[in-house]
């Protein structure tokens, strides 16, 4: 069943229109990538969903029209956004950041077990549990940002450039953990990632954006087999 559907979505920053017809769907429990050059509108597509940019068109989530809702309302419906640049709370500890992620939950009793799960998924965070987020490495901050989003127990995770600024080995281990999270939790994911090789380890299908429009959608295998996709996003 479809969890998220964008149909002809437009978005603008003030007078500047940057999305001009983005359509894509994420099935329940599915994982979908957004590919595209710098400035194609990938980040803005995630912002359109989470309600931080003015949008037109249609955005449906779990059977509801969510276009135009405030970010806190979108989050309450079960969408967690891990923004580019991570967005952890620098002065709070790892444990406090994870607890902040859970603040809207009603099932308070399960929170400790979910923190344990995060620390099992990202063992480096266990060692840094009392450290302020500001003192973590880039990779650890990314892990914390994903862990914090998981703590909200969302139905859908929006993940923006989780590999940005990380050493290749660190980026791979972050993606491996996210993949495990996906398999074990069934949380659906919409993934923006410059590094298409990494994206394809996590997503089943992807949509290619060009100047604010979706121009192509295919399975990971189909897209990897296309010359122009290989040239543009896979390094040859």
The residue (of 150 and 233) whose beta carbon lies closer to ligand ATP is 233
The span of 41-49, 126-134, 137-145, 222-230 binding ligand ATP (CB under 6 A) equals 41-49
Examine residue 15 and tell whether it contacts ligand ATP (CB under 6 A): no
The residue (of 54 and 58) whose beta carbon lies closer to ligand ATP is 54
> How many angstroms separate the CA atoms of 57 and 22, rounded?
9
The residue (of 52 and 93) whose beta carbon lies closer to ligand ATP is 52
> How many angstroms separate the CA atoms of 187 and 151, rounded?
12
> Shortest approach of ligand ATP to residue 48 CB, angstroms?
9
The residue from 6, 24, 35, 44 that contacts ligand ATP (CB under 6 A) is 44
- Residue 150 CB partners (closer than 8 Å, separation 6+): 80, 101, 114, 117, 118, 121, 157, 181, 185, 187
The residue (of 45 and 170) whose beta carbon lies closer to ligand ATP is 45
Tell me the DSSP string of 174-190.
Answer: HHHHHHHHHHHH--EEE
The residue from 6, 26, 40, 223 that contacts ligand ATP (CB under 6 A) is 40
DSSP structural state of residue 135? G
> How many angstroms separate the CA atoms of 179 and 43, rounded?
21
The residue from 15, 16, 63, 106 that contacts ligand ATP (CB under 6 A) is 16
Pairing of strands 79-82, 156-160: parallel
Examine residue 51 and tell whether it contacts ligand ATP (CB under 6 A): no
The residue from 2, 13, 64, 85 that contacts ligand ATP (CB under 6 A) is 13
- Residue 224 CB partners (closer than 8 Å, separation 6+): 200, 230, 234
The residue from 3, 9, 18, 144 that contacts ligand ATP (CB under 6 A) is 18
Q: Which residues bind ligand ATP (CB under 6 A)?
A: 13, 16, 18, 36, 38-44
């Amino acid at each position: 069943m479809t969890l998220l559907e964008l149909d002809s979505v437009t978005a603008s920053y003030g007078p500047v229109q940057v999305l001009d017809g983005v359509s894509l769907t994420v099935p329940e429990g599915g994982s979908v990538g957004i590919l595209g050059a710098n400035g194609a509108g990938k980040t803005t597509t995630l912002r359109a969903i989470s309600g931080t940019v003015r949008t037109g068109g249609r955005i449906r989530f779990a059977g509801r029209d969510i276009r135009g809702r405030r970010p806190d309302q979108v989050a309450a419906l079960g969408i967690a956004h891990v923004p580019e640049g991570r967005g952890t709370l620098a002065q709070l500890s790892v444990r406090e950041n994870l607890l902040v992620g859970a603040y809207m939950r009603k099932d308070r009793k399960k929170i400790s077990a979910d923190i344990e799960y995060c620390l099992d998924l990202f063992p480096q965070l266990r060692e840094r549990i009392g450290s302020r987020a500001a003192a973590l490495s880039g990779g650890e901050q990314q892990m914390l940002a994903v862990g914090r989003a998981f703590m909200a127990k969302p139905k859908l995770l929006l993940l923006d450039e989780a590999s940005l600024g990380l050493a290749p080995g660190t980026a791979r281990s972050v993606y491996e953990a996210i993949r495990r999270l996906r398999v074990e939790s069934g949380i659906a994911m919409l993934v923006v990632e410059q590094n298409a090789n990494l994206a394809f380890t996590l997503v089943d299908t992807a949509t290619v954006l060009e100047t604010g429009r979706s121009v192509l959608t295919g399975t990971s295998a189909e897209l990897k087999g296309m010359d122009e996709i290989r040239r543009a996003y896979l390094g040859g």
